Every structure is written in C-alpha cells, then in structure tokens.
Structure 1
C-alpha cells in the first residue's frame, strides 16, 4: 500500500481557486483560509450534545501537503483536537498516513487504525471541509480507536462503547447499521429537553419494525417513556430502544417532547394530540 499523499493533487479550495463563484460562506471561508495559510491546516471540533459524541476533523491537509483530511470521533473533544494536531505535525514532517499501517505516537497507550471515509458521509458530518474545498476530489480518512482490550469495532468481542461512539464511515450510509450516526440528520435539532438521544424507552415490536404508528405516548412519574400504538399490550411485544430510533422514524413524537411527568397524550380521530394527567 502506498503512502496517502498526492503532490499532484487537483485542489479546488478557496485558496487555490478563488475565482470560482462565491457560495455565500465568505466569512467562514476567510477565517479558515487564514488558519490554513498560517498553520497548514485547521481543526474543526463538534462538541458532544444530547448523547451525540463529539468529533473533530481537519481542513487544509489536502491543500497544503496533499494528505487526506483526518476525522476522529467519540472521545473528549479537546483531546481529539490535540491528537489530530499532533498527527498533522507528523504529516508536515514527511510521515504520511497509510491504510495498511497503524498510527503510533498519537495516543499514548494504543495505536489507531486508518480507514477511508465514504464521500456520502461528507455532507452529514464533515460539511465544513466540503464547504472549503467546494468539490471533489477530497479524500478524508477516519482515525479509529480500539477499546481497552485493544480491539477495534470490526473485531469480535469489541466493547459496545467503542462501536457506538464512533461511526464506521468506510461503510456507505445506506449499508451502515442503524445508529445515532445514521439517524443524525433526522434527529437534529434534538427535541427532548430532559432526555438525550440514547435514553432507553419502552415501545412495541411492530412500532420499531415500522408496521404500526405511534398513537399514544406516556410519561411516567419517574420520567420514563412509553411509545405505544393504542392497542392491547402483551408483555412479549415490549421492546426497549434508544429514543433517537423512534424520533428518526416517527417524527410526530417531536410534538409531545415537552410532555410532563405523569402525563400522557394520544392522537384523536382528527390527528391532533390530546393531553391529560394519568
């Protein structure tokens, strides 16, 4: 496997081709351009919120060094920013990334794997890089971290946090297993003020399968949620899922996200939510 470096790249960023038609991002473009011109790259950080983990990615490595931009997910925001900057300095010193070679010397006690990012993910998670470069080619790679036992997400027995807190961006979105990352567009902005996207809620098999709509929502006195179809409930049909799965597939439950503890709501014949104390 050759080094991930292309000195003959065709870069269409705002610095290389300023004559391209302005896309309405002038202020953002100028601030990023200054950082890229001064340091060689910029690091964009997206803070954790509503149970969605933080992530970071570079803008400028492709322009300055012909290296793919680098993204990292699921750990502390400031730590990831420092680690990605550390890697940028290695690339600057002539140590390019390779897909067949683990990245050493970024994390203290673990190596990182390098995986190519499918371009279909760019608008969802890496929009600032896409805005800066405006059009392909734009290679981006993901730095993937292992769990405490050194197992990566694709390895049998790897920890659930290692798998859930970082997406598998080398897999196209339509083939990626259902997760908070595949649901991100549908759940943003997050509607539930007191509960995060990974809050566990009670529902029914056929609601999660998509065959029945949610017609009744119950918020118990302890703050837990039930999302029901209005029919008879059998214990064997109850499922526990993360709230983001239901918000993504049943957008009307956004309308009762402010339901108070001890209240319930159901859809009447006209399709309006009726609320009452239990």
Structure 2
C-alpha cells in the first residue's frame, strides 16, 4: 500500500493522475537501488519509487527531472563504473547514469542544512565538528584504543559537502588514521570520487587500501557522532581496509593475523561477523 501511495503522489506532482503498478516500474526501481548500493550512495526507498514512476507514467525525461526535486535527486546515480548504464525508457540511447542532473540537491538533513532549534545545547565538541565541516568540508572523529580493543576514526561531513560516502578506518595509530582520512577527504574535495571496492594508492605510503561498503547494521555501534550530525541513519559509509606488509588483505590467504584482528569486517552483516571485540557493542 505504501508503494501505491508514493506512485500516486508522483503522478499527482506531474499532473498525470493515478498510475497503476507496472512490472517495469519495479524493475527500474531495482536497478536504480542496486546501482546506488554498489556506488556507496543508497537513496531513500520512497524517493526512488517517485523517480521511477515519473519516468514510467509518461513524463518526458527532463520534465521528470525538473518538475520534482525528488526525481531530480534520485536520477543522480550516474557514476562511471557503478554498473551498466540504464537507458532512459523514453529516449533511446540516453543513459540514465550519464545525465548531468542533481547539482547538489541530494537530500541532506544535517545540522547545517536544517535548523533543529538545539544550537545552544550542542557541546563544544559538536561545535568544533561543525566548524571543521564549514571550513574544510569534513571533520575526523577519533576513538582511541583502550583495554576493550583497537581504536578507529571516521569522517563527518563528506556527504554534506560532496555527496560522497563517509569513510572509516580501524586499528591504526590515531595520527596515522587521521592522516589517512584527511588524504581521502582532500582527494574527494579535489574531484576524486569514493567508490565501493575501489583500490586507492593515495592513502598510505607504499601500500594500496581498498574501500568496502559498510553494512548498515554497524552504524550505531561505531559512527554515533555522524548519525547525530546528520540526524538520521543510514548515511553511506565505506571502510578503508589496509593490508599487511606484504600487501595482503584480511580476506586473502596467509594474511597476517594483525591485519585480520585489528580490523572488523564491516562489509559483512553483524549476524555474519565472527564474535569478538568488534561485536561487543552491538
């Protein structure tokens, strides 16, 4: 019933009246959702229903983009390499992922984009984070190691500033973690996108790292300040996975024990992750 309601809402926006369910609507939605997930930029489910309905109900491609901000946001999955381009169903030869729409209109509900009326209640740490995001585009939150386990660090602000996933790194010294995430933030600011399964040689000297999509079930355990900043979950997160001294990653045979124990496997769902130090806060 929720899907029928959203389809009707989309059609109303475009003055087409009620649009009954059609299989091609569901198929288009599925392909959009998969592409967004692979790219590390998932979108709200109902927003995508509105977007694909605008296309399927007979609106021109650009009319659907310009007459609804929601459709505009959802048609911005375009990114080279995420998956094969999805042709516009109304304009043969036009690739959905190649259209230059969006222009920064993706939904952001963070404390900089919305007035929640609680500015005076924010802690000095919160205000410092906001200042860093305003000045630099992102901030780095660090959680030092303690007797409970290794530390980690993660960004706040990449989604707000660049509509790119936030990134997190685990098990390194805090100074190195801070440098690694700042390297990724600076590259993002300068135009290098953050992509799922991306190998990056610009993070740690002499070693490549790999970016893995974090399963949503881990967000509250590790990224509480990011959730507080955006006032919602999930914001897409990528884990920066580092290799051992021989360049072997945790999932590869014969990788060092340290590289496997000092980093969680957040690309797995919590229920599939080995029980241990990384699952204690779930």
* TM-score class, shorter: 0.5 to 0.7
Matched with 2:227 is 130
CA RMSD of aligned residues (A): 2.1
Matched with 2:178 is 81
Does the C-alpha gap of structure 1 residues 100 and 184 become closer, same or farther in structure 2, counting only changes over 3 Å?
Answer: closer
Does the C-alpha gap of structure 1 residues 9 and 62 become closer, same or farther in structure 2, counting only changes over 3 Å?
Answer: same
Q: Tell me by how many angstroms 1:179 deviates.
A: 1.6
Secondary structure at the residue paired with 1:112? Answer: strand
2:210 is equivalent to residue 113 of structure 1: yes
TM norm structure 1: 0.62
2:249 is equivalent to residue 152 of structure 1: yes
Secondary structure at the residue paired with 1:103? Answer: strand
Question: What CA distance in whole angstroms lies between the structure 1 residues aligned with 2:259 and 2:148?
Answer: 15
Greater fraction of residues in strand: 1
Greater fraction of residues in helix: 2
Q: Which structure 2 residue ranges, 5 or more long, are not aligned?
A: 1-34, 42-75, 77-103
Secondary structure at the residue paired with 2:258? Answer: helix
Is residue 188–residue 194 contact of structure 2 (8 Å, CA) maintained in 1?
A: yes
Q: Tell me by how many angstroms 1:100 deviates.
A: 3.7
Question: What CA distance in whole angstroms lies between the structure 2 residues aligned with 1:22 and 1:49?
Answer: 32
Question: What CA distance in whole angstroms lies between the structure 2 residues aligned with 1:22 and 1:120?
Answer: 28
Does the C-alpha gap of structure 1 residues 39 and 69 become closer, same or farther in structure 2, counting only changes over 3 Å?
Answer: same
Q: Tell me by how many angstroms 1:87 deviates.
A: 1.1
The 5 Å alignment of 1:184-195 reads 184=281
**1:46-66 deviation per Cα after TM superposition (whole angstroms, max 9, x unaligned):** 111115111100000000011
Which residue of the other structure, out of 2, 26, 35, is the alignment partner of 2:122?
26
Q: Tell me by how many angstroms 1:153 deviates.
A: 0.8
TM norm structure 2: 0.61
Structure exhibiting the larger radius of gyration computed from Cα positions: 1
Is residue 112–residue 143 contact of structure 1 (8 Å, CA) maintained in 2?
A: yes
Which residue of the other structure, out of 41, 53, 57, is the alignment partner of 2:150?
53
Q: Tell me by how many angstroms 1:9 deviates.
A: 2.0
